[in-house]
């Protein structure tokens, strides 16, 4: 499937409000002087190809990535930490290895990871304020990135403990959407999404505990893959957020997302979940065949009465029409979600409580985090165990859409609304934040309860130029089918040709 580079930009709303974010930090160094913005970096597969063909060098790519990150930091504020000197040294070593004939899938390619992921020598703040000691070793996902040859240039911003679909906080300011800096790129992997959408890096890792890869992918016009639970290790955590959270790639094309997924997939010896291997990059080149696709508009019960914004509905309807034109059978259907929220809330809040309890200065946490900590503490233990025990029944009930009704894929909006404005959630209580969040993003989180894979694909732009997305959801271990279908859509709709304004 195509992974061509873009040739034109999508017109967007120009009247964005900008706000200067804090200087990106590198251990032991102050901020660097502002620099002109270089051109966006090529995609992941294209960068790897140019390196293998010796038409560029890792040093050049990493230098451009670092310059672009620092030049855009005052407006986008995508990064929490850079490792500039270490990354340039690793790039020089990658160039020596390439010149000697060594080949690895990502040898010399710059990438970024979210700041919930341990990178040796950098603190893991996970969106929180306060000081943290540097991580003593890489997480398993970063270890695998390095084994594939990638150069990690830095860590991207996340909201506090990954709780919200926006990337804002007192610790680092607001991360902004490259399509319109008055709006959020989403969350909690908003820094990774903003970095990829703006061409600061070819691709990045995020994490998804309730849509935190898929939501920012939808709101920044990216492909975001939430893989099967256990596909990418979350070690040093054995079962992150009570099994809700997985790591996943964000990229501008399906081929790039699949390449990153292949590079980091695999278990640590201590991991609980070990699904059999997939070949994502091969799937991105494969015809998906004729599929039966269920289109669902009604989200699970959230007590908000939320439904899709008319512009979101228009975009997802057009995507469904494309799927039908490509030969698939598309039919409206209704998954039997039941009261799945009763399983989600204890697991999510208990996960927040587990992370928050490790913070050395709890008074620095957002009041909403402290509220979630109290809730998670009350709902821990027996309630969480009961919630997790329901998962088998939830698999059967919701899985009937695939097993009994015979559908291959479920298509839904990724979010009910376009990206909100920066500050939309400021000064809200914990309860009002949860209600507003559930109204804007009611579609993604059930698949975290199930542990099954999903892929966000770009759907369209609103009339004001804001991106919205759709998610392709499948049963257990169906990544290859979803990736093949997403790649077929990409060949037809060619969303990678549209980039935010430089």
Q: From residue 219, how far is each of 416, 441, 458 by CA, in Å?
A: 11, 11, 8
Candidates 440, 241, 443; CA nearest to 337 is 443
Residue 155 falls in the annotated catalytic set: no
* Token reading at 364: 């620095």
What number of other Cβ atoms are within 10 A of residue 389's Cβ?
10
Q: Residue 285 is encoded by which pair of tokens? A: 């080149």
Cis amide prior to 188 (ω within 30 degrees): yes
The one catalytic residue among 3, 114, 155, 207: 114
**Catalytic site residue from 139, 158, 212, 233:** 212
Taking the CA atoms of residue 124, residue 19, residue 427 and residue 81 in that order, the dihedral angle to the nearest 10 degrees is 0
Structure tokens at 283: 């799937």
In angstroms, the Cα distances linking 41 to 37, 63, 203, 256, 423 are: 11, 11, 10, 13, 30
Query: End-to-end distance of the chain based on CA atoms, in angstroms?
Result: 27
Nearest to 499 by CA among 2, 1, 41, 34: 41
| Joined tokens for residue 4 | 């061509």
- For residue 121, count other CB atoms closer than 10 A to its CB: 15
Please, which residues have CB within 8 angstroms of residue 107's CB and are 6 or more apart in sequence?
A: 48, 51, 52, 58, 94, 97, 98, 148, 149, 150
Confirm whether 114 is a catalytic residue.
yes
Which tokens is 448 given?
A: 């975290």
What is the per-residue burial (b if ≥16 Cβ within 10 Å, else e) of 224-255?
Answer: bbbbbbbbbbbbebebbbbbbbbbbbbbbbbb
> 188 catalytic, yes or no?
yes
Helix ranges, 390-457 (H): 391-403, 430-440, 446-450
Annotated catalytic residue: which of 188, 189, 192, 478? 188
Q: What's the rounded Cα separation, in Å, for the pair 51 and 455?
A: 28
Length of the chain measured in residues = 502
449 in helix, strand or coil?
Answer: helix
Task: Tell me which residues are annotated as active site.
Answer: 114, 188, 212
């Amino acid at each position: 499937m195509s992974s061509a580079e873009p040739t034109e930009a999508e017109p967007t709303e120009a009247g964005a409000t900008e706000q200067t974010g804090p200087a990106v930090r590198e251990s032991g160094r102050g901020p660097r002087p502002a620099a002109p913005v270089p051109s966006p970096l090529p995609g992941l597969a294209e960068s790897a190809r140019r390196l293998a063909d010796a038409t560029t060098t890792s040093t050049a790519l990493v230098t451009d990535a670092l310059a672009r990150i620092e030049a855009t930091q005052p407006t986008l504020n995508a990064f929490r930490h850079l490792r500039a000197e270490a990354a340039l040294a690793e790039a020089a070593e990658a160039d020596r290895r390439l010149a000697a004939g060594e080949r690895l899938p990502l040898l010399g390619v710059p990438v970024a990871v979210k700041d919930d992921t341990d990178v040796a020598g950098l603190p893991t703040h996970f969106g929180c304020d306060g000081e943290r000691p540097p991580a003593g070793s890489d997480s398993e996902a970063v270890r695998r990135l390095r084994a594939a040859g990638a150069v990690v240039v830095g860590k991207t911003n996340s909201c506090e403990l990954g709780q919200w679909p926006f990337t804002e906080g007192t610790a680092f300011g607001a991360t902004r959407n490259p399509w319109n800096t008055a709006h959020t790129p989403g969350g909690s992997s908003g820094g990774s999404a903003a970095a990829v959408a703006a061409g600061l890096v070819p691709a990045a890792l995020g994490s998804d505990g309730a849509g935190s890869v898929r939501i920012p992918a939808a709101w920044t016009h990216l492909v975001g893959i939430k893989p099967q639970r256990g596909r990418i290790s979350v070690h040093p955590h054995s079962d992150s957020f009570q099994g809700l959270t997985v790591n996943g790639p964000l990229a501008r094309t399906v081929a790039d997302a699949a390449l990153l997924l292949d590079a980091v997939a695999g278990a640590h010896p201590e991991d609980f979940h070990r699904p059999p291997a997939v070949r994502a990059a091969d799937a991105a080149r494969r015809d998906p065949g004729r599929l039966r696709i269920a289109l669902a508009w009604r989200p699970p019960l959230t007590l908000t009465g939320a439904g899709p914004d008319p512009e979101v509905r228009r975009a997802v309807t057009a995507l469904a029409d494309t799927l039908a034109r490509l030969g698939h059978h598309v039919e409206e259907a209704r998954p039997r979600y039941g009261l799945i929220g009763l399983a989600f809330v204890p697991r999510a809040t208990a996960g927040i409580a587990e992370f928050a309890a490790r913070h050395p200065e709890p008074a620095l946490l957002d009041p909403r985090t402290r509220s979630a900590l109290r809730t998670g503490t009350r709902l821990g233990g027996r309630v969480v165990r009961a919630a997790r025990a329901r998962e088998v029944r939830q698999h059967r009930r919701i899985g009937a859409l695939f097993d009994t009704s015979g559908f291959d894929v479920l298509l839904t909006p990724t979010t009910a609304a376009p990206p909100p404005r920066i500050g939309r959630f400021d000064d809200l209580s914990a309860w009002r934040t949860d209600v507003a969040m559930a109204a804007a993003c009611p579609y993604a989180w059930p698949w975290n309860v199930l542990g099954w894979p999903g892929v966000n694909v770009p759907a369209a732009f609103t009339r004001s130029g804001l991106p919205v997305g759709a998610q392709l959801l499948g049963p257990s271990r169906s990544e290859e089918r979803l990736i093949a279908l997403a790649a077929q859509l990409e060949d037809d709709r060619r969303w990678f040709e549209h980039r935010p304004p430089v």
